[in-house]
Amino acid sequence: MESRKKELFKETKDKFVEFFGSDERCAYVLAPASLVFLGDHTHYNEGVLLSAAVDKYIAAAGRKRKDGRVFIVNNFTRRKIEIKDSPEIENDSRFPARFIYNLLLQMKQNNFLNGGAEIAFTSDIPDCFGIGSVAAHQIALLKLIKKISGLRMSKEEMVSFSRKMEMMVIGKISNEAHHWTVLNSRHKSVVYCDLRTKTVKNIHFSFEDFDIVLLDTEVDIPDSPKICSERIEECEVGAKALKQYMWGIKNLRDISDEFLKKKVMMLPRRLYQRINYNVQERMRVEDALRGIFNDEISGFGNAILNSHRNISTDYIISSEQIDFLVEQSAAMKGVIASKMISCSPKRSLFSIVNKEYTDTYISEIKSTYSRKYGTELSSYKLNITSGVKLFKHLEEVFA
C-alpha cells in the first residue's frame, strides 16, 4: 500500500487510541474522492455522467459501543463530539463536517446504530472537491458502520441512503454518480452512470501516461448551493414549457438537439441556454465514450474542454479567474483538457496533463495566475484509483 495511505491509517489509529483508549476490535475503511469529468448538471434530469475515483482519501476507524452513544473524532476539529441533537453539531459548518454529523445523527435516529459507535477519521481530501468529497466521507462511514453494527444494506441501498442524507443538507444538487463512483469504481477505469436506466459501469481507460492536476484558487463561492438550485429551477421551467410542444417529455433527458433548435424562438434566452447546456452535455458524454473506446485521449479531452466552455457561456456558473485558467491551460503543451469543478465551495478546476509535462505545467500556470491576479494557486497531482475498501484488521493495511 502506498505510503500516503499508510500515513492516513496511522494518523487515524493514533487519533482513535488517543480519544478511545485502544483500537481493539476496530474495523478500518479507506474511501477515495470522486471527480466528475462530464455530465455534471444533467444528474437532476436523469442524465449520463463520466467520473473517476482519485487518490485523495478519507481513512476511518470504528467499533461498536454498548451504551447506545455515538462519538466521532475528525481531523477538522480534533475534538471528541457526541452525535446528538445539539447546537454544537448544528453550528459546526466546516465543510464537509455538517454532512457527516447529519449522516450519523440520522443513522442513530433511524435505529441503524442501536448499540452506539465510536469513530475517528482522517482526510486529505481538499474542500474544493465539493460534493465529490461529501460522497467519499459518507460512503466511507456507511461502509464502516455497516461492518461494526451488522447492518444489512445492499450497494443500491447504500447509495440511496447516502444521497438522501446529502439532499437533506443541499437539496437537489446532490449527485448520485459521486456516491456510485466512491463505492463501485475500479482501478484504471472511469465510471459511466446512466441515471435513468440505473446503469453503472466501469470502463477501462488507462491514465498511466497522464496526471490529473487539481488547481484551487481558494476563492470561496458565496451561496454555491443556491446558485445551482436556481439553475435546477430554470431547467425544470424550461422542460415544462417544452412539454406543450411534444408529448412524453419527462425532463431534459427527453429533449434532442434537433428538437431544441426548432424551438429556439419559443423560449426565453435564459431558459434556452440552460436547456442547451444539458442537451449538449449529453452529446459530449457520447463523444467522450467514443474517444475512450477508440483509445483516443484527445477526443475525451476535447469533450471536457468544450463542456467547460458551455458551462461558462450557457450555464453561467464559472468565473473570470476560472475561465482564464482553463483557456491558459488548454494552450499549454501537454495539457489534454481543463474544466472547472462543479458544486464546490471553492473556485477550482482540474486539468488532464501528460506526465512528461505535469511539473512544468503546474509551475507555469501558477506563475501565470500570480502575475494576473496577484494571488497563489494550490495544486494537487492526482491519479485514478479504485473505490472504497474495508479492512477488518489494521494488519491488512500494512501487509
Taken in order 266, 267, 269, 273, is the CA torsion positive or negative?
A: negative
For residue 78, count CB atoms less than 10 angstroms from its CB and return exposed for 0-12, middle for 13-18, buried for 19 or more: exposed
pTM across the whole model: 0.94
Looking only at the bridges linking them, the beta strands covering 27-38 and 80-82 are: unpaired
CA geometry: angle 145, 388, 3, nearest 5 deg: 115
- Position 54 pLDDT exceeds 80: yes
Percent of the chain with pLDDT over 70: 96
Q: Are 156 and 8 in contact (CB under 8 A)?
A: no
Name the band, by pLDDT with cuts 50, 70 and 90, for residue 360. very high
Distance CA 159, CA 52 (A): 16
Mean pLDDT of the chain: 92
Distance CA 130, CA 67 (A): 35
DSSP structure class, residue 343: S
- Position 145 pLDDT exceeds 50: yes
Which sequence spans correspond to the domains of the chain?
Answer: 3-204+385-397, 210-382
DSSP secondary structure string for all residues of 10-58: HHHHHHHHHHHS--TT-EEEEEEEEEEEE-TT-GGGT-EEEEEEEEEEE
pLDDT number for residue 87: 46
The predicted-structure confidence for 89-103, as pLDDT tens digits, reads as follows 555 556 788 899 899
The predicted-structure confidence for 72-93, as pLDDT tens digits, reads as follows 998 777 788 888 866 455 555 5
pLDDT number for residue 305: 97
3-204+385-397: CATH class: alpha beta
Percent of the chain with pLDDT over 90: 73
Upper half-sphere CA count for residue 392 (Cβ side, 13 Å): 1
| Residue 184 grid cell | 463501485
Residues in the chain: 399
Instruction: Tell the CATH topology of 210-382.
Output: Alpha-Beta Plaits (3.30.70)
Amino acid at 107: M
